[in-house]
Chains A and B, each alone.
Chain A
Amino acid sequence: MTTRTPRWQHPQTSHGRSSNDTHVAVGIFYAYEAELLDHWDISSWLDLVSEDFVYRVPVPLLTDDYNQDGYDTQSLLMDEDRSSIEENWAARMTDEHNAVSWADSPPVRLLRLVSSVRVRHTDHEGEFLARSNVRILMVRQSGAAKEMFGERFDILRSNDEGFTIASRFVVLTSTIIDAPRLRMLL
């Protein structure tokens, strides 16, 4: 496979792990964050992300190299920011637009399981690289449950009330995405 200059890569840090207290706080933050997303309350969820928030999901890729990250550094499945999520995702879950937001009416029912939270310091005081595993069970209409799952790489900034998500990069584990809805906040 010809190596190309990476366009997209997961955030990394050379710093060590943060305190157990921070791990507990991030775990609690993720539990309440998942509650908002599971109930499609994207408007409230946007209060948890920074003004410069970006959300990227690279295309999963299996190469012949044993030492691989499991995704393509060139192509993306999703690339969103705060305003695009507000205008194109949250707006579909409103009285004004939901009736013609066909894939969201009725909405896919969701259950997120977030685990293996690992929080490390970064070069910036009060900013953390939080890695976690996420599994989302998805039920479309009366169909059988399907799922998306992967590893999340978040940049979190601490504030008086907890944390703000500055970026989220999610590496999906499956190379073939078999879910009733690919457009998901993981």
Chain B
Amino acid sequence: MTDPALSLEQRMLDAERRAREIAENAQAEAEAAREEAVRAREEAERAHRLESQARERLQVLVEAGVAMAASLEVRSVLSAATAAAARRVCDYSVAFAVDREGRVQAAVGAHRDPARFGMVERMANAHLPDPDDPDSIVANVLKTGEAAWIPNVPHKQMERMMAPGEQLELARSLGLASVIAVPLAARGRTLGVLVLVRDDPSRPFVEEDQSLAGMLAARAGLAVDNARLYAEREYVAETLRRSLLPPELPGIQGLEIAARYLPAAEGTQVGGDFYDVFEAAPDRWIAVIGDVVGKGVEAAAMMGLARYTIRTAAMSEGRPSAILETLNQAILTQTNDQRFCTACAVRLRPSGDVARATVCSGGHPLPLVLRADGTTEVVGSPGTIVGVFDDPVLVDRAVDLHLGDTLVLYTDGVTDERRDADEFGERRLHEALTELAGAGAQRIADGVVDAVVGFRTGQPKDDIAILAIKVVG
């Protein structure tokens, strides 16, 4: 038996101790639970971080792919690739393209901090990689076509990689701790190199970064290849077009001749407008204006066909309709895909103060005559487009041009231009010509172009060509 008094005291002490123990246990459990919760949250956050890193990596490729696909120039492809790399994978990035002879072209660069873009490009361009330099990472990648990855660039190596002077100084201030260099390749050829750099030795590139850089470079390589092909096509088309426009209009006794040609967009797509003026026989001149369907190299090729067929036909055929019939046959035999052109051919026989103009249109807008007194009239009759049907309706119409009268040939780019939904149209063309009454041929051609350009809003839709032939006696 226990002493009741003691026992009571003891029991109270025991109870107190148990209460304390329970409280302590509860606290420890709460602590453990809290810790568990923290760990769980950390785990969740880590998973989330990994997932968002993966997402971010995918995002780099998507963004860069879109930007590069929209680029038709090698430089803008490289800009897009370096910008994408610097935004999410590295601190700064440089890209080089090589030309057909393997020479390294000017570098393009980007930095995570836009204020340092200039420094990056200055550093890269201070000394372009020498293809035979064994210390140049870029040269090695170009030579082997293999990617290079240096997680930690030793100080000595950095000094060997950079040219002494400005390049080394800039590399030091930018920081060069970790490097990846990947080839830009397409169709089995190395077209350039993409270099990614981290400036902080505590964040070296890891293997994942290299695989991401490789995927980015694969896309950039295709885009560079596309841009190069595009540039070549444009060059060919532009050269063709230039070779097809008459460099200089001939001087004709008694007539003043002027032309204006305004491509819809310089250098991007070659349009299909053409014109020509030449002597077919003594005192018999042919003026022609036309428009080939479509753009680019194919259009330029048809312009060539049209121009030379017309010149050849004019040697034996007197009537403009016969010339256009010959052209119609030539296009029909050479194409079978509804490719066509519209053309207006005019035979001119100047004689003193009068010139007789015989006009034939093959689906082309009919020419206008601006009389000396400012009145205007349409000449000719509609004819069938050239190159689709083997029995075109082509009609010759003659009109006499007197002293001070001007015959104006044009392409539909003139009348189709728009101010919002409103077309320039024939009425405005007549009005513009009336205002130009009394002006010389060049002033008339320029004046029409000015009126159209002043009228339109937005981007030009089509090429504009105008040929003005004035009787000056």
* Bound pair (A, B): no
